[in-house]
Amino acid sequence: MNAQTELKPYVIGLDLGGTNSVFGIVDARGDIKATTAIKTQGYATVEGYVDACVEALQVIIEQVGGIEQIKAMGIGAPNGNFYNGTIEFAPNLPWAHDGVVPLAKMFSERLDNIPVGLTNDANAAAIGEMTYGVARGMKNFIVITLGTGVGSGIVINGQVLYGCDGFAGELGHVIMRRENGRSCGCGRNGCLEAYCSATGVARTARELLETTNEPSLLRELDPEKITSLDVSIAAGKGDDLANKIYQFTGHMLGEACADFAAFSSPEAFIFFGGMTKAGELIMKPIRESYEEHVLKIFKGKAQFLVSGLEGSSAAVLGASAIGWEL
């Protein structure tokens, strides 16, 4: 690294979601200096998508003083492969659903050849927590993202775990129910994600409404349209059934974390995503279940934390943090 490189004060973060692509230009403290966004959908080719991105980016790059102020760019994207900077067979991206797209290289070529790194959103969150969040100073921890799916970013000796192919850390797809497990989007049954994602929580709600007669505020809603947010609101009003749904979800997450401890013995589990807004409603059963289930030598060692990255910009911050590592 030469002196000139060290002086570049900003990195670009791109949170590439199925609906929106959100950009931020971020300094070393995690302050977002400029931000913009485009829709992810509506582009038939990746070239068209990158053109639209760069057009939007140019505006905010100028706002911070031009490309020479930018050290690097980080992208958090579904099915992102860090090793080769590609998005591979991403079902929700029309221009990447049946192939391998070298997105990092394409952005670098359009942005004065700055380094561009890409990984999946959960790994980006893990790097974000290490750089700006609650994992500063930690060397061994696991970020679990609770969103539409359940994702994970595993950090070992201060480095994200990518495995032999770039795809390590799919903890949403460990099997929690080997018999009569719920069907999962991955084509298998019983995955953690089928129970503990936002959609999993809604499924639990429907199951409990169908199989019990317990009164609940949730009975006022169309069962097919119940979301994890509805459950959170009902629980906040003291609804017993809604509380049971969080108990069930947290209990399973705690059991899963007990198995993860047997793998990497992390100093902390950090939960990220919308569902963490439920606070102690979800965190308390996670902690209690973990301590109940974990192997004796690991008891009392791991912290259970909620992401330290700020709400709506958390994913952009995570993505940007990849830039500092390049």
Tell me which residues touch its own copies (CB under 8 A): 139-140, 154, 156-157, 159, 161-171, 173-178, 186-188, 255, 258-260, 262-267, 293, 295-298, 301-302
Q: Which is nearer to its own copies, 21 or 79 (CB)?
A: 79
What's the closest the beta carbon of residue 295 comes to its own copies, in angstroms?
Answer: 5
Cα 13 to Cα 198: distance, rounded to the nearest angstrom = 25
What's the closest the beta carbon of residue 140 comes to its own copies, in angstroms?
Answer: 5
What's the closest the beta carbon of residue 135 comes to its own copies, in angstroms?
Answer: 12
3-class DSSP assignment, residue 168: coil
Q: Which is nearer to its own copies, 187 or 311 (CB)?
A: 187
Q: Which is nearer to its own copies, 140 or 227 (CB)?
A: 140
What's the closest the beta carbon of residue 251 comes to its own copies, in angstroms?
Answer: 11
Structure tokens at 209: 């409404």
What's the closest the beta carbon of residue 165 comes to its own copies, in angstroms?
Answer: 6
Q: What are the backbone dihedrals phi and psi of residue 269, each rounded to the nearest 5 degrees, phi first?
A: -110, 130
Cα 43 to Cα 314: distance, rounded to the nearest angstrom = 25
3-class DSSP assignment, residue 113: coil
Cα 203 to Cα 171: distance, rounded to the nearest angstrom = 20
Structure tokens at 326: 């390049």
What's the closest the beta carbon of residue 157 comes to its own copies, in angstroms?
Answer: 7
Residue for token pair 């940007």? 320
Pairing of strands 100-101, 20-26: unpaired
What's the closest the beta carbon of residue 254 comes to its own copies, in angstroms?
Answer: 12
Q: Which is nearer to its own copies, 25 or 171 (CB)?
A: 171
Q: Which is nearer to its own copies, 21 or 120 (CB)?
A: 120
Cα 149 to Cα 171: distance, rounded to the nearest angstrom = 11
Buried/exposed code over 50-66 (b: 16+ C-beta within 10 A; e: otherwise): bebbeeebeebbeebee
Q: What are the backbone dihedrals phi and psi of residue 45, each rounded to the nearest 5 degrees, phi first?
A: -125, 160
In contact, 175 and 181? CB cutoff 8 Å: yes
What's the closest the beta carbon of residue 204 comes to its own copies, in angstroms?
Answer: 16
End-to-end CA distance of the chain: 11
In contact, 38 and 21? CB cutoff 8 Å: yes
Buried/exposed code over 269-291 (b: 16+ C-beta within 10 A; e: otherwise): bbbbbbbbebeebbbebbbebbe
DSSP at 297: G
Q: Which is nearer to its own copies, 268 or 282 (CB)?
A: 268
Q: Which is nearer to its own copies, 298 or 324 (CB)?
A: 298
Q: Which is nearer to its own copies, 226 or 302 (CB)?
A: 302
